[in-house]
Structure 1
Amino acid sequence: MSNSAPGGAGVTSKAVDGFPKVLEAALKRVATCECDIDTSCYARLRSYSNQAIHRNLQRGIAFEPLECLAPSTISRRFTLE
């Protein structure tokens, strides 16, 4: 990825540099919830704006791609409870 705008703000490099922290926060949020892994709750995944898809939101399913994207040093810190 690159920022092709001359004199650009460097948004692309900031996004790439910060991505591991975003993944870690997302993994922690999904892994450390008290709701069942086959469902979701308002504390983690649900909101008023996505209520039409609440039945499809499952924290177990959300965890899997996050775990695959995260470096192993991050993903090993979290397991689904």
Structure 2
Amino acid sequence: MGCLNNHARALPRFSGDFTEAQWRVRSCECGAETSCYACLRNFRNQRFHEQFSRSDALTLLTALAGTHTV
């Protein structure tokens, strides 16, 4: 349980990063059910590209940032 508490305490420190990532994903012009190199994709995660969804990523980032989508 201690490890989980440590992660929960660390989340506020990353809130700004989640908010910035949220902005990047929300403002991208690719389809909501896909992704591109401007929002989610990069060379290192290319084997997962077909599984990425901007809308799913935005849902996760919103929960992590503790904010609501606009």
What is the TM-score when the length of structure 2 is the normalising length?
Answer: 0.74
Question: Structure 1 vs Structure 2: percent identity of aligned residues?
Answer: 37
Residue 36 of structure 1 corresponds to which residue in structure 2? 31
Provide the rounded CA distance (Å) in 1 between the counterparts of 2:46 and 2:64.
26
Larger RCO, structures 1/2 (Cα 8 Å, 6+ apart)? 2
Structure 2 unaligned spans of 5+ = 1-5
Which has the larger Rg? 1
What is the TM-score when the length of structure 1 is the normalising length?
Answer: 0.65
1:19 and 1:43, CA in 2 relative to 1: closer, same or farther beyond 3 A?
Answer: same
What's the offset of the Cα at 1:66?
A: 1.1
Cα RMSD, aligned residues only = 2.1
Count how many residue pairs are aligned between Structure 1 and Structure 2: 64
